[in-house]
Structure formats: C-alpha cells, structure tokens
Structure 1
C-alpha cells in the first residue's frame, strides 16, 4: 500500500525538477534523421520536429460544464476542491448553460429561473482557493456541443485544460497524477509524440467500432494509448485541440458532416445531430491518426467517475460507472510512469497498433519481420511514384479486407513517416539503398530514382525468404478485390510466379526459392538495373522490377510461371471495365498504368465504388475484424 498523499509531493517535486533539466537540455539538440528503435517506439524524427515546450510556462485550467443540476455541480466542485494541487496555481472556469425558452406556463418558467439562480448563487459562493474562479452564465441554451467546443482556446502550447461535466466526481489524487503524466509524456522529449492529443481519467468501457474486439487488458497494464476520446474527465493538450477547432470550423462551414461508417458514434450523430460533439472529434482523430492516454487501475477504479445523473445523456439517473480511486483504495504507486516505448496502442476497433516502425537497413528489417504474422504471406508494397491519396486508398482497402501483413516501401518523405506514425510498417527506400552500398548509382541522375525500388525489392525479398516469410511484391497501382488474392499461392509447387504487366511477383520461402534468391541474384539485379538505366532509350515498362527479374531468371535457365494478367486483373481506363465486371470471381484485382494521372485514377475508382477516402485522404469507414 502506498502511503498517504503527502508522500507523493517530494517525489513529484523531484520528478518535475529532473524532467525540467532533461527537457531543457534535449530541446537544444537537433532531431536525429536516422534514429530507429528496434522495439519500434515513437522515436522517428517526425516526432521531434518543432518540439519546444517549456515547463516553466506550464498552466492548468479546470473547465466545469454545468446546466441545471445543483446537486451534481456541488458534488463535482467539492471533489475538485479536495484535490492536492501541489502549490500550483490552477484556475477554475464554470460554464452554466441557460435553460431553453419554450412555450409554457409562467410557473414552469419561474421554476427554471429559480433553479438557475440557485446554481449561480452556489457557484458564486463556492470558495476556490487555488487560483482565479470565472463563471460564464450563458444567455441562451447552446447545448452540450457548444459547451465543449467553446470552453477553451489555448493561450499557449503550455496551457492544458481539464474538461469536466457536472455529474462527475473527481479523485483527490487526480492532479498529482495528471501533472506527473504531462511532465512525462509532454515535456520529456524522449517520451513525446505529436500523436497524443490528451488523457482520459475515466475507466475505459467502450469500443466504438462495430464488431470490434472486447476491451481487454492484462493486470500489469496501468497506462495505454487508445484513439477514443473520453468525455468523463478529459485532459486536452493545446496543439491538437487548436488543430481540431480549426478543422471543425472548416468542415462545418463547408457543410461536411462527420460521417464515419462502421462506427457506433456515426449512428448517434445521425440521430442526435449537433446536440453532440464527439462524432466530430472522433472523425478528426481518425483523419489525423491521433491517440489518447488511458488508465487501467483494475477493480473498476478510476480517477474520474460519472454518476450518470438524469440529463441530456440519461433519461433517469443510472448511478456511478466506476469506483473512485482515492488514498484508501490505492495499492500501487500511481505516479510510476513507464516509457512511451513500452505502452500499447489501440485503434477504434481495439486492435493493437505498433507506431513508428521505420526500416533503414537490413538489420532493422530483420527486427521488423517478427512483428508480422508468419502464417500469412507478407505484402511488400512499392510506393515510389505513388501519390499519397492513392496510397491511403490502398491501405483503406487493406483494412476492409483485413490484410494486415504488409510493409510499405517508399522514398524518404513526410508522407512516408506519417504512415509510420499511424502504425504502418515502412522502409525508407533512400536510406535503405544507401545502407547496402548502392548509392554509387546516384550518378545515374533522374533514372536513379526509377531504380531505387528495384534494388530495395531485391534485398527485401531475400531477407523475407531467409526468415521464413512468403512474399507478394506489388506496386501501389493495384487494388485487390479479395483477401484471398491468388489460389495458386497455396500450391506447394508454386515457389515463384510473376505477372509482368501487373508488376506483381510471388515468392515462397522454400528451399528452392532461397537458392534462387541468393546474393548472386541480388548482385545481378543491381547490375542489370544499372545497365538498363544507362541506355539512351528506355521505356518505363522496361525499367521495372518484374521485367528485370524475368530477364535474369530466363538468362540463368530458372523455370518460373507467368500469370495471365487478363485472367486475373482488370485494367482501369478501358471500356470493358465497369461495376458489373467486378462481379467476375476470377478477377482478383484492378490496376492501372503508372503514367495515369491522379485525377483519372480517382475518377475511374469512384465509378467502380473503389475510391474509399475522403477529401483529406482518410478512410470513409472504420472496418473492424475480431483478432
């Protein structure tokens, strides 16, 4: 049993001092451009860009949202006043919504006026000794959405808000915990991630993705990351909240609705409309790939408890949802914060997400492979010369088909790093080629860009086969129509087959395939690619990975099977491709020429109902598959 809360204060003060000097020192260091953590932590350079928070400017505001429940708001404010604020100045802002003006008897109006006055009198007389108290009494009824969205506009990147609805009761331990959490995960550069938008103090109870996994955690997990916002005691970080408010303004002004198919919350929005705000924030989170910190204190305990009093969300009082964690029930060190690298991340389906897997060399590739399922074939997807929205569209189809065993290969870019931040495993093609000593080919000029993917694919295939992984190699200009791509891959005699026009290759991790794909073959790929790139006249189709491999295998008398592209694939842009042709069960994919422009690609895929991203290149649906 951890001792009374007075024992927390020295520990917190020591921690704050240590982390202040740590943050100050690390904020002066330039971010690494090649750092990679073999445990796949969020140490990618995209996470430290413009990272300059200052603990000396830290400020904290409690925002209480109230309406017409005097007993509720009095319980809530008293619980907040019982907390230990460590000598910090903490301001309290209370927002009291006005009752609705409806036709009714003068007696009813008088009752509502009296109720509002009683609440105002209580709040006015409430003693808040930790900082300033501000009371905002609205002149009209604005509802829960406006109460939340208009409660806060951060004055700096060091101002944090704790949003509390009036039927909540808060643990006296909450501020000590949340201050320690902010110091660890916002001011400590080694633990910082721009993917985190805040922290929820409520007990996690809900999975919004339809048909998602049950919310289950082991007893050792105290903190974890989860995409869902928590409305029963949510701490908001300043930068993501500002970003959300601007995003909301833009979308609301353009009459764009926060529809996200496959989510229970979308059904709520279609029923309740602008009375609620969470579907807007959830759509924003999904579009940005952001996460929330949650606690798992066991025995249904939490630092914030909703009494679920009768009101907007409940027709009648349902009672407390959890047990309030306090000194008497505390049986662990609540201030112990594990590194961000050790925490688990979960999406809206409560599927585990592994962020920031960025491979830059062969050793790191070997470390990444165990994070993939060995029982399923791995898809190596080439994103060189593929636009970001086309790549996102492909990944949305992967989610729909429950294809989760893949690696993305692309050029070093913010777009590639952003995919890694969201949980997609990626290979930084530029750094990878440099690591295997092939940057001497950069003298080829613009054609070097065209052969990077050829060289990288050859090395990745060899590594995957050596580690026992079967592999599909595809370009980003294809969309699969089924998760069971080619039945031929199940034939034990089919160790290698190619589809040149589709730029598709399948290799089984067999003894035969491993002998074919040795160091000698990889060297021949590099040599042939270089020779071809030096030719004065060369078509785009000639300088392709599958074309190079086919030539080498034929020159060395290696037998392999070629797929009939017209049987398995449909090329968009041709007159015989339409919605009805998608019903052909023999057709496994659609593809298009690498020279086709983005507008044409999108137009064709929209006509086939295969363009499943919105104007921000985010998936239009969340598709859950039970693990």
Structure 2
C-alpha cells in the first residue's frame, strides 16, 4: 500500500415512510434521524476523510451493502460493520497484518480468497444452521461462508460479485441453492437481505473467506443483535470481545499452505492437489480411498457440463473416493482449485519408465498417454492393495454403493465395454498380472486397435483391457450392461421404473451433448445450473 489512507463512509438509511402512521410518530422519527446526523457530524475521524451518505428513502439492508462500495483500484479494501456491532481495539492491527500477509505477500496470496470475517464462526448453513465444531488448534482457517458482522472485502472478488449480481438480477434469476438454510431466509424475506446472493455467487465460483477461531467464545467483532431485519427483538451479544491482553500472538499469521479450508457443509477441502508423477500418486490414493477402493475418472473429450453434473451426483451420493485425470486445461486446474484431486496426464506420463522406453516411443499415438496413465494408476493402486474403478464422464451413478462393491466378486476383472467401465479387484492374481509388461501390452493393444481404423475417441483404456484379457485367456467378467446400467441413448423417458435396479445411467460418446442433457433432464438426473454449479448443497453425516 503506497499511502495509508483510511476513509470512513457512514451510510444512514431513511426510515420507511408509512402513510398509516400519525404525524406525532413521524415527528418522533424525524427527531431521531436528526439526533443520529448530529452525532455523526460531531464524530471525529483522524485517519482519513469522513463521508456521510444520508438516504432520502428507505432502501433496506441489501442496498446498504451492495451500494456501499465500488473499488477504485486493486489496492482498495472495505471493512463493513453494521450499527449494532462492536469491534476490538485490536481489529485494525489485525486487518492490516492480514492484508499484508494474505493479499500482498505473493507466497500467501490466492485469488479465491474474497476477504476475512472478524466475527466468531458459529454455524454451518448446509446443515440447517447447525453449530460449527472446530478444534482449538486452528486459530485461522478458510470457510466459504460470508460473515456480516465485521467483514473485510477484497476488491476484485467484490467487483466480480457485483457484476454477477447485476447480470442475474436483471435476468430474473433467483439465488436459490437447495440444501442451504440461507435459501429459506431468502424465501421468507426476499430482497430485504443480500447474503443469499453472495452465498450463491461463492458457490458458483468456489471462493473462500478467512476466519479467526479464538477460545472462550471471543472474537474481534461482536454483534449485539439489535431488533431489525434479522431479529424480531434484541438478542444481545453473540460473543465476547478480544482485548489487548487476551491474545499475545494475534498478529502471528500462519502461511496459507498450513491453513485448513472448509466448504458450506464444513467438510475439509484440500485445494490444488495435482499429481504429476508416480511418486506423488500413493499419498493421494491413500487420502481418497474408501473401503480400499478408488475411482479413476477419465476427462478427455468430456464436456464441462457432463463433468460438473457427475460431480454433483458424487456429492449427492457421498462418493468421495475419486480422482480425475486429463491433459492440462482450464477445467482440470479449476477442478483441482476446488479441491478435487487430479492427475496431469502429460506431466505424469513423462516420468514413467514405459514412456521413456523405445517401444512406447515407436508405437504410441498422442491419446495413448491416457492409456499409460490409467494403467499406471491401477498398478499403483494394486501395490497399495486397493481395487480400482476406471470410468469416463458420460455416466451418472444411481447408487451410493456402486463404487464400494464388485460387480462380481468371483472375478478379479470386470469390464463394461459400452459404458466404458472396468473394475480391477485387488488380489494376488491381479497384482501378479498387472506388471510393467502387461502395461506395455495394454498400450500396444490400444495402438493396434487404432491402426485398424477405429476412432481414437473410443479406442480407450476399457476396450484395450477387455481385448487383451480375452486374447490372453485371462478369466474376467463381462458385465451385463442392460441389467447393470441404463443406456439413455434411445430410451423413452416417459416410461416408468426405468432406473429400477440399475446402478448407473450412461450414454455413448457419439451422442450429442444436447441430446444427452435433454434425456437426463427428463429423467431428473440433470442437477447443474446454467452456470456449471450444483443446484443443491448436500451435506452428509460425518
């Protein structure tokens, strides 16, 4: 910050003009307004300029917030307090240290952080407002929820929000996010409140807020919860103020890399997990596995809508033991940023022994990198005694147990050719078969299928494994696709009980995305909004 100027803007909303009130009541309100203005005029501010904005009409809480600030530069910040708040004497020193450490220090900067809240973190909006539980060691953490009792706002995310709000409000789009207690507030109070708009914006963009976590219900800002829009009657202070003697290490801010991140369900999120080598893979598989099973999801050729829809179904069904793989792209990086583990196919393949071999260089085509990486992930999983599902994104799971069970436990290998699904069970036999030589044969098979004129989009890992197992007389199970899954390519969605007993729905890669999407909408399986975000936040019992 080149020049430290801290300007104070005071926004005074006009009282509502109600025709049914008598003149005596109006005179009383006018006198109260004058008293407030006299107090504000006499209030001394020595740290910059003081600006008083006195409304001539009542605009309400939403406009008071949204019209309060438009940043004039990327070096301008806003700290917003309402009139029933009290701040600690330490609040300014803390905010200044926080801006220097997490905004101007590039090693700690992240563009997905939109600010910091000084209030005590209290509830989880995705769990019907349940109280938040956090250990005493986490003094600073990141949480998606905005705080309205002392919120610091960073300039770029706030500008982005205001433009997003304008676009959605103009088009008549409501900030409805199912599963959130704040949506219930919006349905009751409508445009009198602004937080459901900001929460929907945060959900769409995957942004986070910095929070403090002091002991003994203390905080740097405290709301007295006076009667108003949010409270029918005064509720009293929600916390106790941190004083100058209560926290000697207040300004000792940890590196961003050491802080924990939490979503609207207060589930921990681990952002930017990008696997670039075989050596990095084991720790990630250990962290995501569930019941010793992992899901490898292949991204190439998938539409972003299909990927987002699949993720929303994963969230709905509490499926978390997955990892995506694909070439470096905006989509891959965004998935990682939002806490979904990914494998960078290009970087990963460069470090493998097979990629460096002359045989691979002579026989491989560009798309066989994906085959190599898929086979290598399975190999690593088997070394760790994990079973692996390999799938693409043209799929919607219908059962939460789909990826926790084997299609047929009597087989180590199960394949579904049309819906591009393969399951490799961890066993001594599968580990003995799935060695480097077998990996090369998988790649060679894919190359062979490609040279016979097959479309490279469908010459994929599943087909290659299926063919190789068959040629080498290795016992495996061909999944009964009509019994196991529902192909939506040509079905009549008006029929009833289409999904009864099915584990998943799928469509072939040659079906146009618009047609697949239409079918999924009619089947109630399309659960993303037009902005690529899930229509609901689904929290599960931890």
Q: Alignment length, in residue pairs?
A: 539
| Matching residue of 2:522 | 607
Separation (CA, whole Å) in 2 of partners of 1:360 and 1:134? 53
| Matching residue of 2:442 | 525
8 Å CA contact 1:374, 1:469 repeated in 2: no
Match 1:321 to one of 224, 235, 238: 238
3-state DSSP of counterpart to 1:489: coil
| Matching residue of 1:79 | none
- Shift of the 421–542 alpha-carbon distance from structure 1 to 2, 3 Å rule, reads closer
- Shift of the 487–324 alpha-carbon distance from structure 1 to 2, 3 Å rule, reads closer
* C-alpha deviation, 1:379, in angstroms: 1.0
Deviations 1:523-561 (A, max 9, x none): 1112222333334x2245761211111222222221111
- Shift of the 542–261 alpha-carbon distance from structure 1 to 2, 3 Å rule, reads closer
| TM-score w.r.t. length of structure 1 | 0.83
Separation (CA, whole Å) in 2 of partners of 1:454 and 1:582? 33
Separation (CA, whole Å) in 1 of partners of 2:362 and 2:128? 51
Separation (CA, whole Å) in 2 of partners of 1:200 and 1:387? 37
Task: Tell me if 1:138 matches 2:55.
Answer: yes
Structure 1, 491-500 or 299-308: larger mean CA deviation: 491-500
Separation (CA, whole Å) in 1 of partners of 2:518 and 2:374? 30
* C-alpha deviation, 1:510, in angstroms: 1.5
- Shift of the 604–167 alpha-carbon distance from structure 1 to 2, 3 Å rule, reads same
Structure 1, 181-190 or 193-202: larger mean CA deviation: 181-190
Separation (CA, whole Å) in 1 of partners of 2:205 and 2:404? 36
| Matching residue of 1:56 | 2
3-state DSSP of counterpart to 1:329: coil
| Matching residue of 1:563 | 479
Structure 2 residues not aligned, in runs of 5+: none
Separation (CA, whole Å) in 1 of partners of 2:234 and 2:541? 33
8 Å CA contact 1:355, 1:421 repeated in 2: yes
Match 2:169 to one of 232, 241, 252: 252
Match 1:293 to one of 210, 222, 229: 210
| Matching residue of 1:167 | 84
Separation (CA, whole Å) in 2 of partners of 1:388 and 1:131? 48
Match 1:233 to one of 118, 128, 150: 150
* C-alpha deviation, 1:381, in angstroms: 0.7
| Matching residue of 2:318 | 402
| Matching residue of 1:622 | 537
- Shift of the 214–523 alpha-carbon distance from structure 1 to 2, 3 Å rule, reads farther
Separation (CA, whole Å) in 1 of partners of 2:130 and 2:371? 39
3-state DSSP of counterpart to 1:409: strand
* C-alpha deviation, 1:107, in angstroms: 0.6
| TM-score w.r.t. length of structure 2 | 0.95
* C-alpha deviation, 1:143, in angstroms: 0.1
TM alignment of 1:456-475, pairs within 5 A? 456-475=373-392
Match 2:276 to one of 360, 364, 368: 360
Separation (CA, whole Å) in 2 of partners of 1:490 and 1:305? 55
Instruction: Give the superposed CA RMSD.
Output: 2.0
TM alignment of 1:118-157, pairs within 5 A? 118-157=35-74
Separation (CA, whole Å) in 1 of partners of 2:457 and 2:88? 65
8 Å CA contact 1:213, 1:350 repeated in 2: no
Structure 1 residues not aligned, in runs of 5+: 1-54, 58-87
Separation (CA, whole Å) in 2 of partners of 1:264 and 1:132? 39
Separation (CA, whole Å) in 1 of partners of 2:56 and 2:359? 70
Separation (CA, whole Å) in 2 of partners of 1:206 and 1:289? 19
Deviations 1:100-158 (A, max 9, x none): 11111111111111111000000001011111000000110000000000000001111
